[in-house]
């Protein structure tokens, strides 16, 4: 005899006691299978679901951490269109206002500064350590060519957006300081650009990317602690990138490191963007 109860599981949050189970997730529905019993549970219901058989005893507790699913999440065409519009606007504005930076090849100047290179590498490694600790793919497949398109496109065009925001903040900061203390205008420009970069980076990820990418941040207690500290690592990364802009107007080194960051994202999160849908 089969006993069946189906509820929508979004997001799933379960724990298992005194039983061995097989977990199956399909289109947001979590299913526990053992012998001839089939149970699905939604954490939106503030209750425990129990099923007792001759030799099985199930208990599902909604208070335990989220269990990663294996749902084959697919990005919508609207999400991909939003990304393409973002890239297009960044490219258009960059060619209008960053032509001098794009046309320069100051990579050698940046990489001759050993302290700056050490900072860039160290902050990239620390940032990836935190991301590796809190991000997961939920078992999604990795599609090479769509992933390569995302890495290259976002690595280049979003860096253009970062540089635009930095340059605008630097111009405002230096112009204001020049009115009161001309000798400090240069450092004020760097401070204004850095502040603008940090604010923009936080907003674009919170208001744009988190809505377009599939759920990928772990919610375990340890991960929540790391997620609170992780912004400090991101700020350290932004400081290094801003120094590249300030000292050498070097946008291409920043693009290189942004490509590396996006490679880490697609390997860990595997967002199925720009994939062919059946």
pLDDT in tens, 28-69: 444 444 433 344 444 444 333 444 443 434 343 333 334 343
- CA torsion sign, 52 to 58 to 61 to 62? negative
Angle 196-96-261 (CA atoms, 0-180°, nearest 5)?
50
First to last CA, the chain: 36
Q: What is the pTM of this model?
A: 0.74
pLDDT in tens, 163-186: 999 999 999 999 999 999 999 999
Q: Exposed/middle/buried for 164, CB within 10 Å: 0-12, 13-18, 19+?
A: buried
pLDDT at 75: 54
Q: Residue 77: its pLDDT value, please?
A: 83
Instruction: With H, G, I as helix, E, B as strand and everything else as coil, classify residue 275.
Output: coil
Q: What confidence score (pLDDT) does residue 277 get?
A: 62
Residues of the chain with pLDDT under 50: 1-74
Query: Containing H/E element for 144?
Result: helix 144-180
The pLDDT value given to residue 7? 43
Q: Which pLDDT score, from 0 to 100, does residue 124 have?
A: 98
DSSP three-state, residue 31 = strand
What is the model's pLDDT at position 275? 82
Mean confidence (pLDDT) of the chain: 80
| Cα 226 from Cα 132, distance rounded (Å) | 11
């Amino acid at each position: 005899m089969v006993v069946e109860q189906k509820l929508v599981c979004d997001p799933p949050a379960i724990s298992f006691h005194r039983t061995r189970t097989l977990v199956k997730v399909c289109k947001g529905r979590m299913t526990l299978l053992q012998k001839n019993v089939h149970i699905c549970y939604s954490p939106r219901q503030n209750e425990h679901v129990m099923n007792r058989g001759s030799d099985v005893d199930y208990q599902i507790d909604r208070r335990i951490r989220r269990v990663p699913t294996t749902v084959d999440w697919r990005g919508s065409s609207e999400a991909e269109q939003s990304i393409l519009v973002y890239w297009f606007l960044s490219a258009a504005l960059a060619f209008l206002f960053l032509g001098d930076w794009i046309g320069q090849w100051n990579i050698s100047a940046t990489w001759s500064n050993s302290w700056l290179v050490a900072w860039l590498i160290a902050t990239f490694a620390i940032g990836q350590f935190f991301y590796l600790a809190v991000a997961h793919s939920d078992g999604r497949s990795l599609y090479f060519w769509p992933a390569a398109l995302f890495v290259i496109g976002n690595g280049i065009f979003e860096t253009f957006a970062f540089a635009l925001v930095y340059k605008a903040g630097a111009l405002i900061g230096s112009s204001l300081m020049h009115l009161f203390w001309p000798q400090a205008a240069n450092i004020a420009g760097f401070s204004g650009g850095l502040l603008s970069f940090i604010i923009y980076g936080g907003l674009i990820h919170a208001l744009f990317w988190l809505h377009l990418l599939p759920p990928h941040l772990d919610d375990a207690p340890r991960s929540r602690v790391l997620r609170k500290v992780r912004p400090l690592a991101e700020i350290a990364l932004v400081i290094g990138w801003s120094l590249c802009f300030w000292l050498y107007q070097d946008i291409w080194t920043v693009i290189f490191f942004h490509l590396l960051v996006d490679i880490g994202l697609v390997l860990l999160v595997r967002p199925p963007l720009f994939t062919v849908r059946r």
